[in-house]
Amino acid sequence: MARTLLYLVRHGEQDPALGHAPDGGLSERGRWQADRLGRRLKGVPFSATHHSPLARAAETAEILADYLPGVPRHACEHAMDRTPVPSAEHRSEYPERLHSWLDGVPSEERDEDAVGLRAAVEHFGNLAAEDRHELVITHNFVIGWFVRHVLDAPTWRWMSLNQENCGLTIVQWDTERPPALVAFNDTGHL
């Protein structure tokens, strides 16, 4: 039986002076969070570290690399910050009270009908011939989408799944059963 364990981590806290700037790095607290997470993950036999190309995720990956020697890491489009928004034909799948918020999502973050997020699940959720552990440093809504998918929840439920900075979520795929949520937003290391 082959198994894939996907460790999903939200990047460390971004420097608040930079707002939500895509090129904004970590705050001092964010660097501390990443260091504590690195200590927690030390020794996990990761095949690779995939991270969002945005500075806050790349910097988190760099700090974690000190605890994961020899684990290759790279920027990955599947880990990019995305907000799934419904197309006009799927808008009714979301509660009406959420429509105005969804309408305000900036165009550069919009992932209509979660096309990019569905591709990310397909990419990371595949099984290999042998067990593997993958680390993905990404963003809140991406992790919410993975959890929603694994729990087979309604499309819009990603919106209520909030992840702390450097919180750890683990999802699992194996050949014998449907995907499973192993841990959600674990912050015991912080």
Q: pLDDT for 115-168, tens place per residue?
A: 999 999 999 998 777 889 999 999 999 999 999 999 999 999 999 899 999 999
The domain that holds 76 is classified in CATH as: 3.40.50.1240
Of 24 and 153, the structure prediction assigns the larger pLDDT to 153
- 3-class secondary structure, 158: helix
Find the largest Cα–Cα distance for the chain: 48
Mean pLDDT over residues 28-37, rounded? 97
Q: How far, in whole angstroms, is CA 104 from its chain's centroid?
A: 22
- Rounded to 5 degrees, φ, ψ at 120 are -65, -45
Structure tokens belonging to residue 52: 């969002």
- 3-class secondary structure, 41: helix
Alpha helices in the chain (DSSP H): 28-41, 55-65, 99-103, 115-124, 140-150
Mean pLDDT of all residues belonging to the chain: 93
Q: What is the pTM of this model?
A: 0.94
Domain total for the chain?
1
pLDDT the model gives residue 85: 95
- 3-class secondary structure, 188: coil
pLDDT the model gives residue 19: 65
Residue 145 contacts residue 179 (beta carbons within 8 Å):
no
| Domain ranges, residue 74 | 3-16+23-186
